[in-house]
Amino acid sequence: MVNMAKELNPLRHSCSHVMADAVKRLFPDVKLGIGPAIEDGFYYDFDKKEPFTPEDLVSIESEMKKIVRQYLEFKKEEISKEEALKLFKKEPYKIELINNLEAGTVFIYRHGGFVDLCKGPHVKSTEKIKAFKLLNVAGAYWHGIETNPMLQRIYGTCFETKKGLEEFLRLREEAKKRDHRRLGKELDLFSIHEDVGPGLVFFHPKGALLRKVIEDYLKTAHLRRGYELVVGPHILKSDIWITSGHYEYYKENMYIFKVDKEEYAIKPMNCPAHMLVYKSRIRSYKDLPIRYFELGDVYRKEKSGVLHGLLRVRGFTQDDAHIFCLPSQVEGEIKDVIGFVMDTMKEFGFNDYKVGLSTRPPQYIGSLQMWECATDALKKALESGNMDYEINEGEGAFYGPKIDIMVKDALGRPWQCATIQADFALPERFNLVFISKEGKKERPVMLHRVILGSIERFIGMLIEHYRGAFPVWLSPVQAVVIPITDRVHDYADEVLRALQGDDIRAEIDKRNEKLQYKIRERELQKVPYMLILGDREKETGTVSIRARTEGNIGTMKLEEFLKRVKSEAENKTLVKSY
């Protein structure tokens, strides 16, 4: 599959150099950091005493247009480190980068009078840069280390055509309307309290209901597919994390503390607990595969600068499972998990996706032979299923390669959800065995996998995909009963009891407010159905229905409405994402 973002990298990287050139022309005292191409565009880091203002961005963009119109050629040169140090003697961040290079030579790029430390690639000249826009300014620590200076990062984007840029900006504005942080507050789903702890989520009643619906679905789906439910403790002694390798490779992301002079860690992963359950008794080859599933709460020490609503938090729940199987069962189990992922995503309204295969990282556990076997197993499962995939070199977990399935939302944005990891290393570290047909002890293969991933992140994704207007089966409140006058309050209570007795999530609104005010408020809360009750409805035993997607749909018997809502919920009827 062609990655269009990567195809645009040379263009965007070139545009970042033009932006740095413009900044230096307008603010000569500014010191330069780095300026790479990224997924949606590019950025450049600057050390400037005063903050960049919105007016500054307008001026910088105007200066960039002047530079582009000069049709300046991007020229690559290779020079010695000594020459580079002289060339960048007034740029402290560039000097640091040069001094950290092991090679004796340095690559630079020039366009006009501007020169930057860079390997490229770039487009041929500024003539190719035709459609760009500066987006915003943010703070960024040098090298991402909090003890380093805080620089100002200007973000921008660039496309080959004006049409491409306009579509990107349109989608960006739409994404702002869908921002789950704003909608989460408006719909009263969740909150995060910085004074209590950043990255820790408080689900409000409606958010907790949404979460329950998702978790109930997951438990049922796993039981139907032959998984067994397990529950592990939230803390384990550090010894177990040393055995697993997390202590060595993941310690900086773990919360570690002492109890009675012994060291413990709050779990960042669920796999050690599941391995201990497996190891609790002797296993036969006839028992395999064993599939353990847990909605496991984990905690990770994320830096405050990367926390983002529900999408990046410090405490979250994974729909985590570990499959212990024979080597001969690995390919089939992986294919079954991929099918599970696709079926589940379809239920939630996602039909477009892309797949990546992440290979051995620089730091890893286990032998090279183990990694080759694990990677081959993942490849065979993908290829036998005729699935297109990209190779992500060096991005696997430290204990095994993985398949990542990215689903695309209503705006075409990719979201990381499902992950499948083949692990030959941890079963050896924990001495996991089964008794073979020949009566010998042999090693199982362990597959780590999640379907939705982080439940918190998936809820944030759902909010943005549906713009808060969930399909009936997911809606925290499926119907609200609105009596027009006090005279029908008793009938409204009767209708509410009937709804709740049929497991329909319903509320009643008896406030002394105008009907149109109540209707408008519930429309903003994106409730699928409103049942308007007056004297006529009470006399006839009917309900007047207003649907979120259709408006007023007339009057019907309560039994008929119950049948309609239950059918939508049970069939998981999807709505067009707003």
Q: What is the mean pLDDT of the chain?
A: 93
One domain for residues 462 and 548: no
One domain for residues 411 and 276: yes
Distances (CA, A) of 302 to 33, 253, 329, 461: 24, 6, 36, 20
How confident is the model at residue 424, as a pLDDT?
Answer: 87
One domain for residues 384 and 495: no
* pLDDT tens track for 525-572: 999 999 999 999 999 999 999 999 889 999 999 999 999 999 999 888
- Average pLDDT, integer, range 39-52: 94
Would the pLDDT of 578 be above 50? no
Is 197 part of any domain? no
How confident is the model at residue 4, as a pLDDT?
Answer: 47
One domain for residues 140 and 38: yes
Active site residues: 271, 300, 318, 320, 322, 402, 448
- Average pLDDT, integer, range 337-355: 92
Is 239 part of any domain? no
Instruction: Name which residue leads in pLDDT, 265 or 424.
Output: 265
- CB-based burial label for 227 (10 Å; 0-12, 13-18, 19+): buried
How confident is the model at residue 365, as a pLDDT?
Answer: 82
One domain for residues 395 and 514: no
- Average pLDDT, integer, range 479-492: 95
One domain for residues 484 and 453: no
Q: Residue 317 sits in which domain range?
A: 205-230+267-466
In CATH, what number is assigned to the domain containing residue 527? 3.40.50.800
How confident is the model at residue 6, as a pLDDT?
Answer: 66
Instruction: Point out the domain boundary residue: 415, 439, 466.
Output: 466
One domain for residues 285 and 321: yes
Is 235 part of any domain? no
* pLDDT tens track for 234-256: 999 999 999 999 999 889 999 99
* pLDDT tens track for 1-31: 334 456 899 999 999 999 999 999 999 999 9
Is 447 part of any domain? yes
Would the pLDDT of 575 be above 70? no
Instruction: Point out the domain boundary residue: 414, 433, 466.
Output: 466
How confident is the model at residue 416, as a pLDDT?
Answer: 87
Would the pLDDT of 386 be above 90? no
Instruction: Point out the domain boundary residue: 466, 489, 523.
Output: 466
One domain for residues 287 and 365: yes
Is 256 part of any domain? no
How confident is the model at residue 577, as a pLDDT?
Answer: 46
Question: How far is 509 from 493, CA to CA, in rounded Å?
Answer: 10
Block residue for tokens 């597959």: 447
Which pTM does this prediction carry? 0.86
Would the pLDDT of 405 be above 70? yes
- Cβ-contact 233, 294 below 8 angstroms: no
One domain for residues 460 and 552: no
- Based on the structure, what is the number of domains in the chain? 3
One domain for residues 156 and 299: no
One domain for residues 31 and 148: yes
Give percent of the chain with pLDDT exceeding 90.
Answer: 80
Is 91 part of any domain? yes
One domain for residues 391 and 436: yes
In CATH, what number is assigned to the domain containing residue 119? 3.30.980.10
Helix, strand, or coil (residue 521): helix
- Average pLDDT, integer, range 468-487: 95
Residues 6+ apart with CB under 8 A from 438: none
Is 191 part of any domain? no
In CATH, what number is assigned to the domain containing residue 309? 3.30.930.10
Is 236 part of any domain? no
